[in-house]
Amino acid sequence: MTDTVVVPPDVLTAVRTKHRALWAAGNYPVLAAEVIPALGPVLVEAAGVGPGDHVLDVAAGSGNAAIPAALAGAHVIASDLTPELFDAGRAAAATSGAELTWAEADAHSLPFDDAAFDRVLSCVGVMFAPFHGTAADELLRVTRPGGTIGLIAWTPAGFIGQMFATMKPYAPPPPPGAEPPPLWGDEAHVRALFGDGVTDLHAEVRTLPVARFSSGAEFRDFFKAVYGPTIAVYRAVADSAERTAALDQELLDLAARFQDADGAMGWDYLLLTATRA
Quick check: is 225 in a domain? no
Quick check: is 108 in a domain? yes
Range of the domain at 206: 9-212+265-276
Total domains in the chain come to 1
The predicted-structure confidence for 206-241, as pLDDT tens digits, reads as follows: 999 999 999 999 999 999 999 999 999 999 999 999
Q: What mean pLDDT value characterizes the chain? A: 97
Quick check: is 128 in a domain? yes
The predicted-structure confidence for 139-171, as pLDDT tens digits, reads as follows: 999 999 999 999 999 999 999 999 999 999 999
**Contact indicator for 46, 151 with CB cutoff of 8 Å:** no
Quick check: is 229 in a domain? no
Quick check: is 44 in a domain? yes
Q: Domain of 84: which CATH number?
A: 3.40.50.150
Quick check: is 231 in a domain? no
Q: Give the ranges where the chain is alpha helix by DSSP (H).
A: 9-24, 28-34, 39-46, 66-71, 86-96, 132-142, 159-167, 187-194, 216-226, 228-236, 241-258
The predicted-structure confidence for 9-60, as pLDDT tens digits, reads as follows: 999 999 999 999 999 999 999 999 999 999 999 999 999 999 999 999 999 9
Quick check: is 23 in a domain? yes
- Report whether pLDDT(2) > 80: no
Looking at residue 61, what DSSP letter applies?
T
Looking at residue 116, what DSSP letter applies?
-
Quick check: is 27 in a domain? yes
CA distance to 189, 226, 230, 261, per residue, from 203 (Å): 12, 30, 28, 31
Query: Rounded to two decimals, what is the model's pTM?
Result: 0.97
The predicted-structure confidence for 44-53, as pLDDT tens digits, reads as follows: 999 999 999 9
Q: Which long-range contacts (CB under 8 A, 24 or more apart) does 187-193 make?
A: 187/270, 187/272, 189/132, 190/136, 190/151, 190/153, 190/270, 190/272, 192/2, 193/1, 193/2, 193/132, 193/133, 193/136
